[in-house]
Amino acid sequence: MQTILWLAGALCFAAMALDAQWLDYRVPGLPRTADGKVNRAAPAPKTPDGKPDLSGVWESETAYFYDLGTDLKPGDLVMQPWAKTLQGEREAKLHQDDPLSECMPPGVPRINMSSANNMTHPFKVVETPALVVLLYETSANSTFRQVFLDGRPLPKDPQPSWLGYSVGRWEGDALVVDTVGFNGRSWIDTGKGHPQTDAAHVTERFTRPDFGHLEIDITIDDPKAYLKPWRAKVPVHLLADTDLIETYCENEKDHVHKR
C-alpha cells in the first residue's frame, strides 16, 4: 500500500491504463466461446512458418512488479553485502529514490510487470520472423524494445541504456531473449528495490501454453549484485479486445506549467 501511495503522489499520468482502452471493439478472428467471450483455453496460435505466435496485448500478475522473487525460497536469491544493504535502505526510505518516480523507464525485467490499482503496465508483442517488437504502456512513458532474431550477437561494448540490447532465438516453442548493456540505474522490482548493475545479463523465456496465457521465465545473472544467478517465473494473461494507449509521465517537481 505504501508503494502504491508513493507512486500515486510522485507521478502524474496523462492517461491511465485500463482493461478496455478501445471500448466496445470486438477484435475479429479470435477464438470465442458460445457467449462471445474470448476462449483463453483455445490452442496457442502459430505463425505461417510454424513458430508460436506471441502477438497480443499482455498483462502480468501484479505481485511480481513489487517483488520479482515473491515465489522464491530462502537461499534462491542471495545478494552481495552492499546490494543487501542498499535494498534495505530503499525499503526503509519508502522507495523515494526509484527512477520510476522521475519518469525513467522501469528497466528489464520490471518493464514486463504490471502493478495494481489501475496503474497497470500492459505490453504488446508484435512478432515477425526477424524481429520481435515489445511496445510498453508504462507509468513512466510509452516506450519499446527490439528483440533481433536475425542472428546478430550481443554487442561487446554497448552504450549503457535503461532497457539494454536484446537478441533472441527460438528453442522449441520458447522465445529466448538475452539482454545486456544496462546502465546500472534501474531497479529489478518496486517493493523490494532489488538492485541491478551494469554487469547484469537478463534472460527471458517467453512461452504461450494456450491462447490466453504467457509465461516469462526470467534468469537474473548479475555477479556484481548477487552471489549466484536467480530465476523467477511470471504468469501473464491476454488482454483481449483492447489495445495500448499513449501514456505520458510528468515529474511535477521539475516541470514548469504554462497556461
Tens of pLDDT along 210-258?
A: 999 999 999 999 999 999 999 999 999 999 998 888 887 876 555 554 4
Give φ, ψ of 230 to 5 degrees.
-140, 155
Is the pLDDT at 259 greater than 50? The verdict is: no
Q: Residue 9, exposed/middle/buried by CB under 10 A (0-12, 13-18, 19+)?
A: exposed
Q: Does 26 or 252 have the greater pLDDT score?
A: 26
Is the pLDDT at 87 greater than 90? The verdict is: yes
Question: What's the rounded Cα separation, in Å, for the pair 90 and 131?
Answer: 37
Q: Is 38 helix (H, G, I), strand (E, B) or coil?
A: strand
Q: Are 125 and 58 in contact (CB under 8 A)?
A: yes
AA letter at 157? D
AA letter at 39? N
Residue 10 grid cell: 510522485
5-9, 68-72, 99-103: which has the minimum mean pLDDT?
5-9
Q: Is 188 helix (H, G, I), strand (E, B) or coil?
A: coil
Q: Which one is the CATH code of 2-13+44-250: 3.40.50.150, 3.40.50.20, 2.40.128.20, 3.30.70.120?
A: 2.40.128.20
217 beta partners: 205, 233
Is the pLDDT at 134 greater than 70? The verdict is: yes
Question: What's the rounded Cα separation, in Å, for the pair 228 and 224?
Answer: 10
* Confidence band of 14 (pLDDT split at 50, 70, 90): very low
Q: How many CB atoms lie within 10 A of CB 254?
A: 8
* Confidence band of 50 (pLDDT split at 50, 70, 90): very high
AA letter at 4? I
